[in-house]
Amino acid sequence: MPEISKKEFDVLVALKESENDVSQRQLEEVTGHSLSTINRKIKELEEKGLVKDGKITSNGEKALEPYEVKRAIFIAAGFGSRLVPITLNTPKPLVRVNGQRIIDGLLDAVVKAGINEIYIVRGYLAEQFDQLLYKYPMIKFLENPIYNEANNISSAMCARHLLKNAYVFEADLLISNPAIIKKYHYSSEFLGIKIDRSDDWCFKVKDGIITEQTVGGVDCYQMVGISYWNSEDGSRLEKDIKKAYEQPGGKELYWEQTPLKVFKNDYKVAIDECKAEDIIEIDTFRELKAIDKTYDV
């Protein structure tokens, strides 16, 4: 199967996901590439046998298979101390916001994208996550017995053998735009929101590639706790997460510091840009009350 460039990938995915005939003008809008680029890439894809008469061929679909997301992993073991008192009796991902559990929006987006292999790493009040099986019977649980003794790298340790072609989610994100969860990814990517200034975790980015993860920054991307790892990087992470965890102070790491800090020279992680209105993290009980007035009593 011939290799495809990022622009060819974008065109193939747009053709694959369109239910009807799609014009080059529509491809321009969907991919963000110029009309002349679309025209050129269509011709190149036709020469490779991946597109015919404006439609993706069976060979084109095969060319996309290495880029297909195989599974989704949710990191959901923690206590959620900043959301006390609600989390005293309920794990944060299961807290209801405007009538729906926080994690349901993420799970619905994953299922809508056609990703049906789903794992949840649980710890605090673990048995409460069983309620998800009524709506999502495909879920498999991974147990983290030391969630209260280490940072979330302990949850990544439980799932490190599953990271090839996989999404990794923080399970407490409130999503409003399911389209940011995609069936295909060209490379390993981390979701981020372009921002002028941030006091939170953020990324410095050059030419679309994350160069540094920092706390606070200007002209940066605010980190969103959703990432995708291709087959090569996922395989490398399986070993590197264990190495990072076992080094002095390793239990205090956040898992994503493995590829973004500890072994950052071995990874090339792209930024996957989204908008502030697409997804938010509810950090505090005050923020929860601002979003859902039923808690403001």
Domain span including residue 193: 68-295
CB–CB of 141/73 below 8 Å?
Answer: no
- Are 113 and 256 part of one and the same domain? yes
Q: How far apart are CA 127 and CA 2, in angstroms?
A: 47
Q: What is the pLDDT of residue 290?
A: 87
CB–CB of 292/97 below 8 Å?
Answer: yes
29 in a domain, yes or no? yes
How many domains, the chain?
2
If one counts every other C-beta atom within 10 angstroms of the C-beta of residue 5, the result is 12
Q: What is the pLDDT of residue 21?
A: 78
- Are 232 and 98 part of one and the same domain? yes
Q: What is the pLDDT of residue 2?
A: 61
- Are 116 and 61 part of one and the same domain? no
User: How many CA within 13 A on the CB side of residue 169?
Assistant: 30
- Are 291 and 207 part of one and the same domain? yes
Element (H, E) at 39: helix 35-47
- Are 27 and 132 part of one and the same domain? no
From first to last of its 297 residues, the chain has per-residue pLDDT tens of: 568 999 999 999 999 988 677 888 888 888 889 989 999 999 999 999 999 988 899 999 999 999 999 999 999 998 877 788 888 899 999 999 999 999 999 999 999 999 999 999 999 999 999 999 999 999 999 999 999 899 999 999 999 999 999 999 999 999 999 999 999 999 999 999 999 998 899 999 999 999 999 998 899 999 999 999 999 999 999 999 999 999 999 999 999 999 999 999 999 999 999 999 999 888 888 888 888 888 876
- Are 23 and 87 part of one and the same domain? no
Q: How far apart are CA 27 and CA 169, in angstroms?
A: 29
286 in a domain, yes or no? yes
Among 35, 66, 97, residue at a domain's last position: 66
Among 37, 66, 95, residue at a domain's last position: 66
213 φ/ψ angles, rounded to the nearest 5 degrees: -105, 130
196 in a domain, yes or no? yes
Give the domain CATH number at 219.
Answer: 3.90.550.10
- Are 30 and 122 part of one and the same domain? no
- Are 182 and 257 part of one and the same domain? yes
Taking the alpha carbons at both ends of the chain, their separation in whole angstroms is: 61
CB–CB of 119/159 below 8 Å?
Answer: yes
220 in a domain, yes or no? yes
* pTM confidence score: 0.93
Q: How far apart are CA 266 and CA 258, in angstroms?
A: 10
Among 26, 44, 66, residue at a domain's last position: 66
Give the domain CATH number at 26.
Answer: 1.10.10.10
Q: Which two tokens stand for residue 147?
A: 């969630």
- Are 52 and 107 part of one and the same domain? no
- Are 131 and 82 part of one and the same domain? yes
State the Cα angle at 186 between 180 and 191, rounded to 5°. Answer: 35
1 in a domain, yes or no? no
260 in a domain, yes or no? yes
- Are 25 and 126 part of one and the same domain? no
- Are 75 and 113 part of one and the same domain? yes
Q: How far apart are CA 230 and CA 69, in angstroms?
A: 8
Q: What is the pLDDT of residue 103?
A: 97
Q: How far apart are CA 239 and CA 161, in angstroms?
A: 9
225 in a domain, yes or no? yes
Q: How far apart are CA 218 and CA 96, in angstroms?
A: 33
Q: What is the pLDDT of residue 294?
A: 87
Q: What is the pLDDT of residue 1?
A: 54
Q: What is the pLDDT of residue 74?
A: 98
